[in-house]
C-alpha cells in the first residue's frame, strides 16, 4: 500500500496502527511536502520519487490511498503557490471552470505567507494547487503502475472536495440534497444573492466556502423578507490589522447582524467560490439539533455518529456534542434510511471506496438529505463497528 499524506497526521497514524494490528506491512508513506518539492522539477521528478519508495512494486495488488493534505503550514503554502496564476499547471481535475479564475497572489508571494494557525488564506487558489498536484500524481502513477487501484480516485476526490460540483453530481444521480439557490448557478456577489433569494423565495440559507473543510467558511444566514433585517452565524472571525482585514477560523461561533460586515463576508465567499443551499431544519433532541456523519466503506454503511449542537452548525471541532445515532430518538427505520442515502451518495463515485457522508435528517418528516461527501471523513474517535475502529475496519483482511 502506498500512502500519500502528512507525517504525524492522525489519519496516517490510525491507518498504520490498523495495518499493524492485522499483521500487514506498514503502508509506504510519501509525503505531500516531498511531492510538492518534486513538482517544482516536473512530473519526471515525481515519478522518480514514487519509484524510489516502491522499487519492486507491481501493478497487480498495489493500493494507493490519498490522505488529507491539511494540518501542515508548509504544505498549505506550497499548494497556494502551485495554484498561482503565474504558474503553469494541469487544471484538468478542476471540477468547475469557474474555479480556474486568474485571481489571488503570485507564487513568489505565496512563498512568503506567514504561518498563522487558523487564518484563512486564498482557499480557492489552494484548491487549484491541490487539483494540479493530484493531476500530476495521477499521471505519473498511470505511467509507473497502470493497474494500481486507488482507494479514492484523484478525480473523484477533487469533485467531492468542491461542494458545488459534489452536489451537482449527487443531484444528477437522483440523490436527495438541499435545494440550491438559483438552481446551483454561480452567485457573483451579495446583491446577486439577495435577488436570487427573493426570486426563489428562500429566506434562510447555508453559505459554504465551496472548497473549505470542517466548518471553515460556513455561514448560516437569514434575512427578513419585509424588513431586510439579517443575521449570520458563522465560524469566520474578523480582525483588522495594519489597515488590512484578516479572516480566520474561530473555535467558537460568531454572530453578525450589521449589513456591511455580512455583505463583506458574502462578497469574499463569492470571490473564493461559494455553495449556497436551502437551510433545512434539522431533527433535534433535548434542545439540540443534529445531523449524522455516516462512514461508507466499499459501498456499505458502517461507523456513524450524531453531531449535536444548539447552533445551526454541528461540526464536532466546534466543541459540539457527540451521541450514538441510536440514542437520538430516531427509529430504526429512519436510521436505516439515512444509511441507505449515504450508500447511494457513494454510488455516485464509482472510483472511490471510503468517505464520510454527512446526512441531514429533516425535522418532522425525518427524510434524509446528503449535505457533504468528505473523502477524508473517516477520522471518528471512539466509534466502533463490529468492535473495530474505522481504520481497522478498512484494513480488515
Does position 227 have pLDDT exceeding 90, yes or no?
yes
Out of 54-68, 126-140, 159-173, least confident range = 54-68
Report CA torsion sign: 271, 275, 276, 281.
negative
User: How confident is the model at residue 129, as a pLDDT?
Assistant: 95
User: How confident is the model at residue 397, as a pLDDT?
Assistant: 87
Report CA torsion sign: 300, 302, 308, 314.
negative
pTM: 0.94
Delimiting residues of CATH 3.30.470.20 domain(s) in the chain: 282-395
Q: Give the CATH fold of the 282-395 domain.
A: D-amino Acid Aminotransferase; Chain A, domain 1 (3.30.470)
The whole-number average pLDDT for the span 163-180 is 97
Does position 99 have pLDDT exceeding 70, yes or no?
no
The whole-number average pLDDT for the span 291-317 is 93
Q: How far apart are CA 254 and CA 272, in angstroms?
A: 20
- Outline where DSSP puts E strands in 121-168: 149-150
- Over pLDDT 70: what percentage of the chain? 97
The whole-number average pLDDT for the span 166-176 is 97
User: How confident is the model at residue 244, as a pLDDT?
Assistant: 82
Q: What does each C-alpha distance from 386 to 2, 302, 338, 389 come to in angstroms?
A: 27, 9, 19, 9
Residue with the bigger pLDDT between 244 and 120: it is 120
Q: How far apart are CA 353 and CA 151, in angstroms?
A: 6
Q: How far apart are CA 7 and CA 67, in angstroms?
A: 11
User: How confident is the model at residue 55, as a pLDDT?
Assistant: 82
In this structure, are residues 306 and 316 in contact, taking their beta carbons and an 8 Å threshold? no
Amino acid at each position: 500500500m502506498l500512502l500519500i499524506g502528512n507525517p504525524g497526521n492522525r489519519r496516517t497514524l490510525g491507518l498504520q496502527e490498523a495495518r499493524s494490528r492485522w499483521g500487514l506491512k506498514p503502508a509506504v508513506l510519501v509525503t505531500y511536502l516531498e511531492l510538492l518539492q518534486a513538482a517544482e522539477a516536473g512530473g519526471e521528478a515525481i515519478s522518480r520519487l514514487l519509484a524510489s519508495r516502491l522499487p519492486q512494486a507491481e501493478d497487480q495488488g498495489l493500493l494507493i490511498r490519498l490522505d488529507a493534505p491539511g494540518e501542515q503550514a508548509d504544505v498549505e503554502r506550497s499548494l497556494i503557490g502551485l495554484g498561482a496564476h503565474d504558474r503553469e499547471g494541469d487544471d484538468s481535475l478542476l471540477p468547475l471552470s469557474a474555479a480556474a479564475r486568474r485571481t489571488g497572489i503570485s507564487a513568489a508571494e505565496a512563498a512568503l505567507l506567514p504561518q498563522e494557525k487558523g487564518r484563512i488564506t486564498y482557499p480557492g487558489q489552494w484548491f487549484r494547487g491541490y487539483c494540479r498536484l493530484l493531476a500530476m500524481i495521477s499521471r505519473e502513477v498511470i505511467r509507473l503502475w497502470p493497474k494500481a487501484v486507488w482507494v479514492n480516485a484523484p478525480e473523484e476526490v477533487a469533485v467531492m472536495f468542491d461542494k458545488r460540483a459534489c452536489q451537482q453530481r449527487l443531484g444528477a444521480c437522483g440523490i436527495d440534497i438541499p435545494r440550491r439557490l438559483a438552481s446551483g448557478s454561480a452567485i457573483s456577489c451579495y446583491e446577486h444573492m439577495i435577488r436570487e433569494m427573493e426570486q426563489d423565495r428562500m429566506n434562510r440559507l447555508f453559505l459554504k466556502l465551496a472548497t473549505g473543510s470542517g466548518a471553515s467558511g460556513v455561514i448560516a444566514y437569514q434575512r427578513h423578507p419585509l424588513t431586510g433585517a439579517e443575521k449570520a452565524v458563522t465560524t469566520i472571525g474578523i480582525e483588522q490589522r495594519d489597515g488590512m482585514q484578516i479572516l480566520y477560523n474561530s473555535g467558537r461561533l460568531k454572530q453578525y447582524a450589521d449589513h456591511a460586515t455580512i455583505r463583506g463576508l458574502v462578497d469574499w465567499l463569492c470571490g473564493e467560490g461559494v455553495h449556497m443551499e436551502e437551510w433545512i431544519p434539522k431533527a433535534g433532541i433535548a434542545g439540540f439539533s443534529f445531523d449524522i456523519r455516516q462512514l461508507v466503506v466499499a459501498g456499505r454503511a458502517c461507523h456513524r455518529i450524531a453531531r449535536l449542537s444548539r447552533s445551526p452548525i454541528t461540526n464536532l471541532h466546534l466543541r459540539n456534542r457527540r451521541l450514538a445515532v441510536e440514542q437520538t430518538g430516531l427509529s430504526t427505520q429512519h436510521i436505516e434510511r439515512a444509511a441507505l442515502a449515504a450508500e447511494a451518495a457513494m454510488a455516485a463515485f464509482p472510483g472511490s471506496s471510503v468517505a464520510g457522508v454527512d446526512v441531514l435528517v429533516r425535522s418532522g418528516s425525518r427524510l434524509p438529505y446528503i449535505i457533504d461527501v468528505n473523502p477524508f471523513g473517516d477520522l471518528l474517535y471512539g466509534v466502533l463497528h463490529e468492535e473495530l475502529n474505522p481504520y481497522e475496519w478498512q484494513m480488515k483482511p
